[in-house]
Structure formats: structure tokens, C-alpha cells
Amino acid sequence: MSGVGPEKTAEIAAKVEAFVRDVVIPYEKDPRRDHHDAPTDELVWEMREKARAAGVLTPHILPDGSHLSQRETAIVLQKSGLSILGPLAVNTNAPDEGNMYLLGKVGSPEIKERFLKPMVEGRARSAFFMTEPAADNGAGSDPSMMLTTCHQDGNHWVINGRKAFITGCQGAKVGIVMAKSADGACMFLVDLPDPAIRIERIPNTIDSSMPGGHAVVTIDNLRVPADQMLGNSGEGFQYAQIRLSPARLSHCMRWHGAATRAQEIATAYACKRKAFGKTLIDHEGVGFMLAENLIDLKQAELMIDWCAGVLDTGSLGTAESSMAKVAVSEALMRVADRCVQVMGGTGVTQDTIVEQVFREIRAFRIYDGPTEVHKWSLAKKIKRDQAKAEAQ
């Protein structure tokens, strides 16, 4: 992936940062929220119109449809994450960013025109239907447990099953649905809403940054034209792998920006607030926490850059993205936790976004694969590599 080079990347990133700081951050107090305190689509569309006017909408995809390199994307997405609303405003948010990446890579010209184009233009949100309810013992961290089925009926496929934690489902216009045929996993593009996809409920979760929440849905005889399948029957997991590593890393990029902002807020607080005769920053216990945050933020930034470099070679980067996801999510959790601690009582209020950053990053340690699943996957790789080494 060639990208646009460091100077152009810096220019794009600077424009995104200025827009997020000057235009988006004031929206953080906007009362247009749903029952779960997530921003409403009305708020999202308003911010996106301003992003479009400022020339920063979907900044990681260029006007000719080409994509920034992963290393360049990291720099831009980190700036978009300086506000929790930033990725929504400039259209770098999950799951849309990962879905755009996938369709840009493997979608047919017809699929790109019908489904990808409105997403890139920031006029449609999307949802990725893979995870299934734990009560059904369906696919979660182990996608091979998928229970949702599909079978061909003439020139259509018919899909039945239940899905859970479907981020952004309510209000989405584009859906990517995974189901299992006799050949294996399959992936379909669908228009939303569809009466065959019924939202059962939208549970309240610890995080509240995603419009539409994380829905539980029932899919009842959903009919999808055969030309809306990505690839062929049984190739679904192959396409999922194309999406998952970059999308996993994009989460790291965005939340790095949010943790950086939390550090800024906690630092400003510690340099002004006085206790026991001096400012908090001059108390070693506080100053050291902020110093440790700087270290964690820099290590996380370098881990993101390293993994992005691997992906830019064309590698799937499965192991590398697992390593980055674990290291970055755990480091940013430490950063967010220390920021809350430095700010004391203020840190657990909604007077600043620090407490939300803490909640969102806590969820991030589970989303796109819990830390433990990634460690288990890496341990299996270690065992395989050792067996190969001994066999030589």
C-alpha cells in the first residue's frame, strides 16, 4: 500500500485535528442522545455536514477511492479520536471504517457503487452481523461456533438465526451478514432496515459512543440476491480475516487519540489543582502517574506503527494485530485509569470526558477479541512454530 507520503499525511492529520478540537469537542455537551446516552443520528449527520464542508470527511480514503497506507491511517485516525465524537463526525468510526476497508478490497463494482459509495460519502451507517448470543452458545470469540444458517433458493439465499452485540444496527443502512452454508461461512451485503431482521433489544452497555447501540437481533427468512454474496459460498472467514486485522488496529488508533485527550485533561487539572501546599503535579505520586502515562502512550503509538507497517507489506498480520491489540488496549486502560485517579472525584463525574474514555477503553479490551483470546491465539502460534523448528 503506497499511500500519499509523510507531508500529505501530516497535512490531512492537521486538518482533522483542528476540526475535531475546534468544531467537534463543543458537541460533547450536546444533549441529543438516545436512551443509552449515545449520540443520535441527527447529531451525527449535523457534524458530518460540517466535516464535509471542512474537507475532512472520510479523510483516510482519497477522492479517487484509494486508501491511505495503514501507517498513514494511524496518524489520521489518532487525531480523529481526540474527541469520542470525532470518528463519528469525520467518518472514521467503527464498524463503518472496517466495513469500508473490506468492501474496498473485495467488493464487486456493483457492490461498491450500491453499498460502499454511500458509506464513503458519510450518508449511510453500517453494521457487521457476526457475533451471536451467548445463551444460544453461538459464535462469539470463536466464529467457528456460528449457528446462523443460509441456503440457496433459486437466485436468492435464505438466512435464519440470531445475532448479538451488533454495533450500530439501529439506524444502519448497510449490513454485512455472516451465516453458515453447507460449504462453510458466507458473507452477504444487505439493505437495512429489512423486516426479516428484527431488533429484539438494545442492552445498555458500559460504553455509550456508538449510535444505534449493540443490538440483539433475530433474522427470520431473510432473502438476499445471490449477487450480494461476497465471493463464493464457504469463503466468509477468508473475507472476515481481510477485515479483522486492520479493523482491530483501527480501534487502537482511535482510542489512542481518546487516551491522549484524557492525559491532556488530567495534566491540566494536576497543574492547577492544589493540595497540601502545592499543585498536584508536584506531588511525586501524581507526577509519576502522568509520567507513566507518557511512557504507555508512546509505547502504544510505536506498537500501532509497527503493526501498521506489517499490514502495509500485504501480510494479513494476524499474530501482529493480536499482539498490538493486547498491548495497546491494556496500555490505554492504564492511562485512562490513572487519569481518573489523578483527577479524584472530578475524574468520575461527567464534568469532563475522562470518565467516558475510561468506560469506552474498558469495553475495548473485550471488543474485537478479549485480551485472553488473543494471548491464547499467540500461544498456539508459539507451539506451532516450536514444532516446526524441532522438525527441521
* 48 against 2, higher pLDDT: 48
Higher pLDDT, 143 or 83: 83
Residue 2 pLDDT more than 80? no
| CATH classification of the domain holding 357 | 1.20.140.10
Q: Is residue 377 part of a domain?
A: yes
- Do 227 and 265 fall within a single domain? no
Instruction: Tell me what pLDDT residue 236 has.
Output: 94
Residue ending a domain, choose from 232, 248, 264: 232
- For the stretch 141-195, pLDDT in tens is 888 999 999 999 999 999 999 999 999 999 999 999 999 999 999 999 999 999 9
Report the C-alpha gap between 279 and 295 in whole angstroms.
22
Residue 111 lies in a domain: no
Same domain for 247 and 363?
yes
Report yes or no on 141 lying in a domain: yes
Residue 380 and residue 250 share a domain: yes
Is 102 within a domain? no
For the stretch 328-349, pLDDT in tens is 999 999 999 999 999 999 999 9
Task: Judge if 198 and 214 occupy the same domain.
Answer: yes
Q: Are residues 73 and 205 in the same domain?
A: no
Q: Are residues 133 and 254 in the same domain?
A: no
The answer on 279 and 133 residing in a single domain is no
**Considering the domain boundaries, does residue 298 fall inside one?**
yes
pLDDT of residue 1: 56
Is the domain of 144 the same as that of 176?
yes
Q: Supply the mean pLDDT for the chain.
A: 96
Question: Is residue 164, in this structure, part of any structural domain at all?
Answer: yes
Predicted pLDDT of residue 365? 96
Spell out the residues 6+ positions from residue 189 whose beta carbon is closer than 8 angstroms to its own.
103, 107, 111, 114, 115, 174, 175, 176, 224, 228, 229, 230
pLDDT of 296 > 80? The answer is yes
Do β-strands 174-181 and 126-129 pair in parallel, antiparallel, or remain unpaired?
Answer: parallel
**Region 35-53 average pLDDT:** 96
67 and 175 share a domain? no
Residue 392: pLDDT band (50, 70, 90) is confident
Examine the domain organization and report whether 227 and 249 are in the same domain.
no
Q: Do residues 221 and 242 both lie within one domain?
A: no
pLDDT > 90? residue 244: no
Of 203, 232, 261, at which residue does a domain stop?
232
pLDDT band of residue 102 (cuts 50, 70, 90) is: very high
- The last residue of a domain, from among 183, 212, 232: 232
Owning domain of residue 33:
6-93
Q: Is residue 300 part of a domain?
A: yes
Domain count, the chain: 3
Confidence of residue 286 (pLDDT cuts 50, 70, 90): very high
